Structure 1
Amino acid sequence: MKRSLVLLFLFSIFSGVSQVKQNYTIGILVDYTTSEVEPLLTKLQSEIRAVVGEDAVIHIPESNILANNYNLEKAQQNYDQLLNNKTDIILAFGVINNQIISTQKVHKKPTILFGAINRDLNSDIDLTKETSGVENFTYLIESESFKVDFKIFKELTGFKNLGIAIDAPFVDILPLKETFDREIGALEANYKLIPFNNPNDIINNLEGIDAIYIAGGFFLTTEENRKLAKAFIDKKLPSFTTNGPNDVSAGIMATNQSDDNLEQFFRRIALSVEAYINGESLSELPVFIEYTPRLTINFNTAERIGFPLKYSLIAQTDFVGEFRNILSEKKYSLLTAIDEGLKNNLSLQASQKNVELSQQDVKTAKSNYLPLLTAAGTATYVDPDAAEISNGQSPEFSTSGNLTVQQTLFSEAVNANITIQKKLQKAQEASFNADQLDLIFNVSNAYFNTLILKTNVQIQVQNLELTKRNLQIAEQNFEAGQSGKSDLLRFRSQMAQNTQAMVEAINQLEQGFITLNQTLNNPINLEIDIDDAALSEGVFKEYNYEEIANLLDDPTLREPFIDFLVDEAKTNAPELKSLQYNLEATTRNLKLNSSGRFLPTIALQGQYNRTFDRSGKGSTAPPGFGLIDDNYNVGLNVSIPIFNQNVTNINRQTAIIQKDQLEINKQSTELGIAANIRTGVLNLVNQISNIELSKISEETAIESLELTQVSYSSGSVNIVQLLDAQNNLLSARVARANATYNYLINSLQLERFLGYYFLLNSDQENEAFRQRFFEFLSTRN
């Protein structure tokens, strides 16, 4: 019994001792540090603590984070400092630290070297080993390779003279020339080495190259990368970086590094620390980190430098940036597009010429009341025998001239024609107004359809990225034995289909810009872009969407609202005004050929005659007779047509038929307006409902996909269910993105039927429109 108590007591002591956590102090050696590197070091510390968890207490004092600023001597001092203080584990990062750490024969403290080893470059570490085999030492080898990057960059651009920018301190430390001579030579190209200490060193040495590769620059800030990217873009230089997608987001054209690499890298470092704390030897830990490379391209940068994207690479490419036309020479808002369309559209210009021609017809009709003055000259030769006996009245040779003036004083036909041409001019102006209203809608329709196509490109890109993510899940499931190879093949097929859909979406967007250019009378190949449009923002801020939605949602208000719109449309419709003017012109023509035909035409005529010369026989008058060289006459002409081959009766019958036809067309147009207004309102109701429901649909589809992805990862659902969830999200995103644009298109179409565009009228005019509705509503109650 006593022995048992002793054993129990000893067990409790050992248990208490085992529960005491060990403390580990970690030191971190870096080559350089910036304000943007510090968050990464913080993230690394958090990852280590999270992975180690309850196994130990991790301390990383700020005094143990040492930078050498690319100085070998300082790097040695920093290393010695960690060896001589209470540091338990050393984490070393960078090319300079690599020169110190990798050459150590004996590692006095556990050391993990990472982030400094390129497969093509390092000569101090045996890359054939799966573990370090060195006591107290391990390293992490990334799968990045200059050789692979150069090959991809060559495939993308076909460069002949490559600029390779690398941190200046590395030039004398690393075997760069040997490596680059070998790899660039294999691609049958030349290169120019550009050592740099700051971005200006690169910017000032870009002559003689047709592409630029950033082989270092891990410590460049985002702002410095933006500066470099702008310089490359200005010189139309394709650029490629050995660093990750963050640099591509800053404007560098491309990288072959995955966005997941950094997290994976930090996780491996943390796992190595945990393994050592748990008693594993660093010398036995695996050294390789196999990344899945992902080509990432900045779409906007590629557009700016005129870089043609190869569709063959799209399936293996991620894109950053906005899918908008960076090269646009003009960027339109809806109002500026409408304004330019009204000024430049060719069809509208032709319609304007019809108005001008009708004005000329009015002038021609009025000119019939202007005097007509003619001058004539005559040279006459008369038979000499006849001239001799004419007593001087018809000399053998004579020249003469006359002036004749005619003035219509009254003509029913002229009066009718003036009135008719004025009415036809008004009708033509109304037709021109209709053409303007049509053009405004056509421009708006082309504008919003282009926005829909632009949004569709972005959605197709997102869907392609989603398929790539699902393919990764399928690959993981296949490797874990949770699914068969058929899932992989199905997602690869899906990715090919999504890629084709994205390519088609991009081309459709280009077609949308072509249509808009044509409508605005721009050169078809002019690079343009358009602003986005949203309800309750910008020019649509006054679109009281909720008020209209509530109005149309109430059946007791909907019918009165439709009746009011129909009345307003009939008042505004230029088509009805044109028909009315034509009807008035036809009525005047009918009056002319009815009672008007009995009204006389009264005209005044005068003539002045002069003989300039007489000669030859009969040129002198006999004695007692005189010859008059000047004379004039004035007359008043009154005429009434009695019978003109029955033309008047025929014209009268024709006018009656034309009048009946115009009245029928007017009735048909009024019915069409009423039908269009009612249809437009119903379409608007549909779109209002679509806006609200599409929000719910997209939110539900996103949640459903996330749940399905998790279930598929665990093998709970099959590939068909995952594809259905993805396709459902695609449809929901398209519906959600297009809902607002379709609502605005339908709104503007209703306004076209109404003959009144709220966007183009003042707040006072729009308020007056609302007041007319309330007044109309009060008269019905």
Structure 2
Amino acid sequence: MTDKVLLAQQTFDLNQCIAIALEKNITVDKAELDLDNKNLDVKSYKNERLPNVNGFTNLYSNFGQSQDIFGNNARNDNFNGTLGLSSSYSILNNGKLRNSIKKAKMELEASGQDLALLKREITLKTIQGYLNVLLQKEICKSVDTALLFAQHQLQKIQKSTDLGATSLTILYEAKANYERENEKNRQAHYTIDKAMLELEQIMAIEPDQNFEINTELQALSSLPESNYKSSDLYASFLQQHPGLKKYALLNEALQFDQKAIKAQLYPTIDANLTLGSFYFNNLTTSFGRLPLFNQLQNNFSQQIGLTINVPIFNKNAVKIAVQKNKIQQAENVKQLELEQLTIKQDLAKQLLDLDNYQKQYKLATNILEVTKKAFELSLKSYEAGKISIYDLNTSRSNLLTAESELIQTKYNTLFTQIVVQYLSTGDIKL
């Protein structure tokens, strides 16, 4: 998606933001280039099964004299050359090429899992950034309401003070409270701008006033409680995790590589074919006496041969290479076990966090309801002259805190639910 499209569209939903982040991320582009490189490796190994063909020619002259076995000196000036084609083809390589091709294919698929892992990380960052913007916007609404209330109270007290019914102390406290709420409001809007900038940076787009996200998230209207079974989720996490697939593929690649290495212990057979001719002209008997094309035709020859290589002693190079291969396989197995352990531990932490957030959300909902009632009573008591403006401001501040904590807990719960769902199924459902 181009920047022009970004400027034209007004709002983006979560899936669109993820698509843009994946499309414009430079690291993804680099990973895709690496994938293209691995694909060329596969083609290169496949091409090794084809015969090679080379053309050759050379022209040269000799000048001077030479002595024969009888001691006679004679001029040996000549002009000659050769022309031909040569080809070779591997008849027997003990499966080295076949296993090298399979190894390259496994490494290609492993690189594909690296790309999938990178896209997963970018997707999770985008989800987090997107929800953070929504979180800050919702908190800002509460702060805006608190500012309006402080402004309304200040206007009422100002009028009352002008009539001489309210002391200057109460007026200054109302002004001070309004300025405090004004600063909170400024900070809340700054936090939104910062969250938007972070999301734009994740999506790799230039900051622009036309960029906005869709705030109508259906999942926020009703936050259902999630009950997951740890064992089922663990199996799903293992099945979906690209890192595990990557190390499994790399181990397969190493197994094929080991077979290719061991193939060097056995004889190999190559077929050779040479077609060619030569030209020779003794310059001492006049140049061009023997026509070039006639000689090339008369001297045309063909040679077919087999080259058999029998390994006898290779300084234990193959043995050491096999041992290194086995060590790499063992390292991959351990890495695979470590990844599985990390996944299990992360899953346990996420489920614990999710359970905590869900309980916290229920408590925060109850706290907000009680705090609202307390504020309503405080407002009536203040208007009746039973409590001071300090008590009223404290009650209003407690309400803002309760609202903010509930909003924060709601988004923590939603984000954790999305992460668990995405990592276990690969889907994002909101």
Q: How would you bin the TM-score normalised by the shorter chain? A: 0.7 to 0.9
2:81 corresponds in structure 1 to 399
- Percent identity over paired residues: 18
Unaligned runs of 5+ in 1: 1-326, 553-557, 761-781
**How far apart are residue 443 of structure 1 and its match?**
1.9
SS in 1 for 2:48: helix
Distance in 2 between residues matched to 1:349 and 1:385, nearest whole Å: 68
Equivalent residue number for residue 426 of structure 2:
756
| Counterpart code for 1:598 | L
Question: 1:406 is matched by which residue type in structure 2?
Answer: S
Residue aligned with 2:363, SS: helix
The residue number in structure 1 matching 2:252 is: 584
In the superposition, relative to structure 1, how do residues 491 and 583 fare at CA in structure 2: closer, same or farther (>3 Å)?
farther
1:729 aligns with 2:399: yes
Matched residue SS, 1:759: coil
Which residue, out of 18, 31, 39, partners 1:338?
18
Deviation, structure 1 residue 639: 1.8
Structure 2 contact 100–260 (Cα < 8 Å) conserved: no
Q: Deviations over 1:39-97 (max 9, x none)?
A: xxxxxxxxxxxxxxxxxxxxxxxxxxxxxxxxxxxxxxxxxxxxxxxxxxxxxxxxxxx
Equivalent runs, 1:255-334 vs 2, <5 Å: 329-334=9-14
**Aligned residue in 1 for 2:330:** 660
1:691 aligns with 2:361: yes
Listed as ranges, the matches of 1:361-372 within 5 Å are: 361-372=41-52
Secondary structure of 2:272's counterpart equals strand
C-alpha contact (below 8 Å) 1:579/1:662 kept by paired residues: yes
Q: Which has the higher contact order (CA 8 A, sep 6+)?
A: 2
Out of 180, 196, 214, the position equivalent to 1:513 is: 196
- The Cα offsets for residues 561-609 of structure 1, whole Å up to 9 and x where unpaired, read as 111100111122111000101111122333444x433233322221122
Matches within 5 A, 1:42-441: 329-386=9-66, 396-411=78-93, 412-441=95-124
Shift in alpha-carbon separation, 1:481–1:358, aligned structure 2, 3 A: same
1:648-671 per-position Cα deviation (integer Å, ceiling 9, x unaligned): 233223222211211111111101
- Give distance in 1, aligned partners of 2:314 and 2:246: 32
Instruction: Report the CA distance shift for 1:377/1:726 in structure 2 as closer, same or farther (over 3 A).
Output: same
2:373 aligns with 703
Distance 2:269 2:47 in 1: 16
SS of the counterpart of 2:133?
helix
What is the rounded CA distance, in whole Å, between the counterparts of 1:680 and 1:579 in structure 2?
Answer: 24
- 1:571 matched to which residue of 2? 239
Pick aligned residue for 1:496 from 179, 185, 197: 179
CA contact (8 A) 1:677 1:754 kept: no
For 2:416 and 2:67, locate their aligned partners in 1 and report how far apart those are by CA, in whole Å.
89
Distance 2:305 2:169 in 1: 107
Task: Please give the secondary structure, in 2, of the residue aligned with 1:633.
Answer: strand
1:446 and 1:512 in contact (8 A); partners too? yes
- 1:654 and 1:486 map into 2 onto residues whose CA distance is 83
Determine helix, strand or coil for the equivalent of 1:369.
coil
1:674 aligns with 2:347: no
Q: Contact (CA 8 Å) 1:409, 1:604: kept in 2 or not? A: yes
Question: Is 1:451 paired with 2:119?
Answer: no
Change beyond 3 A, Cα 1:631–1:494? farther
Match of 2:73 in 1: none
Report deviation, 1:521.
Answer: 3.5
Q: Residue 72 of structure 2 aligns with which residue?
A: none
State the Cα deviation string for residues 611-646 of structure 1 (Å, max 9, x = none): 35636247779xxxx995322212212224333344
- Are the aligned partners of 2:21 and 2:202 in contact in 1 as well (CA < 8 Å)? yes
Q: What displacement does 1:483 show?
A: 6.8
Q: Does 1:599 align with 2:266?
A: yes
In the TM superposition, residue 362 of structure 1 has moved relative to its aligned partner by 0.9
Aligned-pair CA distance for 1:746: 1.0
User: Do 2:78 and 2:280's aligned partners in 1 also have CA atoms closer than 8 Å?
Assistant: no
Change (3 A) 1:404 1:729: same
Q: 1:653 to 1:591 in 2, by over 3 A?
A: same
Structure with the higher fraction of residues in helix conformation: 2
Following superposition, the deviation at residue 482 of structure 1 comes to 8.0
RMSD: 3.2
Deviation at 1:374, TM superposition (A): 1.3
Contact 2:96 2:259 in 1 (8 A): no
Distance (Å, rounded) in 2 between the aligned partners of 1:388 and 1:511: 95
Aligned residues: 410
Q: Give yes or no for contact 1:573–1:755 (8 Å, CA) kept in 2.
A: no
Contact persistence 2:97–2:260 (CA under 8 A): no
TM-superposition CA deviations, 1:184-204 (whole Å, max 9, x none) = xxxxxxxxxxxxxxxxxxxxx
Question: Closer, same or farther in 2 for the Cα pair 1:329/1:388, shift >3 Å?
Answer: farther
After superposition, the C-alpha distances for 1:676-710 in whole angstroms (9 at most, x for unaligned) are: 22222222223323433333333322222222123
Unaligned runs of 5+ in 2: 1-6, 70-75
In 2: Cα distance, 1:481 partner to 1:354 partner: 79
Q: Is the alpha carbon distance of 1:470 and 1:643 closer, same or farther for their aligned partners in structure 2, counting shifts above 3 Å?
A: farther
Larger Rg, first or second structure (1 or 2): 1
Q: Is the 8 A contact 1:437 1:755 kept in 2?
A: no
8 Å Cα contact 1:408-1:602 kept in structure 2: yes
Instruction: Tell me if structure 2 keeps the 8 A contact 1:431–1:575.
Output: yes
Per the alignment, in what secondary structure is the counterpart of residue 397 of structure 1? strand
1:395 CA displacement: 6.2
**Distance in 1 (alpha carbons) for counterparts of 2:67 and 2:213:** 88
**Is this contact kept in 1: 2:422–2:428, CA < 8 A?**
no
Task: Give the structure 2 partner of residue 608 of structure 1.
Answer: 275
Structure 2 residue identity aligned to 1:731: T
Amino acid at match of 2:283: G
Distance 2:136 2:282 in 1: 90
Distance 1:643 1:481 in 2: 111
Mapping for residues 451-470 of structure 1, pairs under 5 Å: 451-470=134-153
DSSP 3-state at the match of 2:143: helix
